[in-house]
Amino acid sequence: MKHVIDSTDLTVEEIDGILKLAQDIIDDKEAYSEACKGKKLATLFFEPSTRTRLSFESAMMELGGNVLGFSSADSSSATKGESVGDTTRVVSCYADIIAMRHPKEGAPMRASMVSGVPIINAGDGGHNHPTQTLTDLLTILREKGRLDNFTIGLCGDLKFGRTVHSLIKALSRYKNIKFILIAPKELRVPEYIISEVLEAKNIPYEEVESMEEVMSELDVLYMTRVQKERFFNEADYVRLKDTYILDGKKLKNAKSDLAILHPLPRVNEISVEIDDDPRACYFRQVMNGKFVRMALMLTLLKANGAKLNLSADKLA
Ligand code: CP
């Protein structure tokens, strides 16, 4: 059974195939509108979400399938003490594919060990968020026309920001990408990602604290929210939450074709005055999230032997 728990569960060829399929869906939506007729997606969200859950659900509906699930642990039998494993075993009797978000790192991995249907990690604690990464890759590809030969600045909470961890792992497999990691000391990228991904592959990276000093170098700027829900201490969050606020003044030296991404939700780290700048891609990024999740579900269902309602040329 093929699952997607980490961005590294997909080969570069598989990622490129999903991005290509997502672009075909964008260009020819009608051809996919019945592809998942009779199929059911279960969204098991033990932690809050707006984009990820609703884009998964919208994606399955636009593929002609149905959706069931819950949007908080409180409305599931987890409140009675049911384990993630048992919940997954039960739901895999009702659904053809499961998207799971959980505050505990590793919960979707545990689910994949007992599931009878494909599991997609929709975010586990401060660990990984592989479908956000597919969204980010499709956005970079559509905005820049390539997934190689650029400098990306990742800014904000690089310690708890699971989208950053998954994105670094995925982009580290493409050619000639330089990473500039912009964070206060307390919120730097975890050491295992530096040593096991960037240093192990000899990938160029810098760790800096000032956004302004590197702005002119960047082709892509990936802003992130300081993850309040992962802090043990409110005072630390309050001290760090507004470390970076991107505004017009900070963009003064930026490239004219900079792509500004943010997984959202934002709190205060991008001023709304930036939203109308053509370089602000984050709302286009949201739309890409739905198409890439359509492509991922089709790919996983097909890989696991499901019969899809697609014409022969689209099934190839
Ligand atoms: N980007 C993202 O994961 O957003 P949600 O938490 O709203 O799903």
Query: Bridge partners of 69?
Result: 43
Q: What is the pTM of this model?
A: 0.96
What pLDDT, on the 0 to 100 scale, is given for residue 240?
84
| Strand residue runs (E) in 258-305 | 259-261
pLDDT digits (tens, 9 = 90+) for 146-205: 999 999 999 999 999 999 999 999 999 999 999 999 999 999 999 999 999 999 999 999
> Which candidate, 102, 88, 155, 123, places its Cα nearest to that of 4?
123
Ligand 1 centre and the CA of 154: distance in Å?
17
ipTM of the complex: 0.99
The CB of 133 under 6 Å from ligand 1? The reply is no
Structure token pair of residue 280 = 């602000």
pLDDT digits (tens, 9 = 90+) for 37-64: 999 999 999 999 999 999 999 999 999 9
Ligand 1 centre and the CA of 54: distance in Å?
9
Indicate the top mutation candidate among 46, 50, 56 to test ligand 1's pocket, ranked by most ligand atoms within 8 A of CB. Answer: 50
pLDDT along the chain (316 residues), means of 10: 96 97 97 97 97 98 98 94 97 98 97 97 96 98 98 97 97 98 97 97 98 98 93 88 95 98 96 98 98 98 94 79
| Strand residue runs (E) in 230-281 | 259-261
Amino acid at 2: K
Positions annotated as catalytic residues are: 51-52, 80, 101, 129
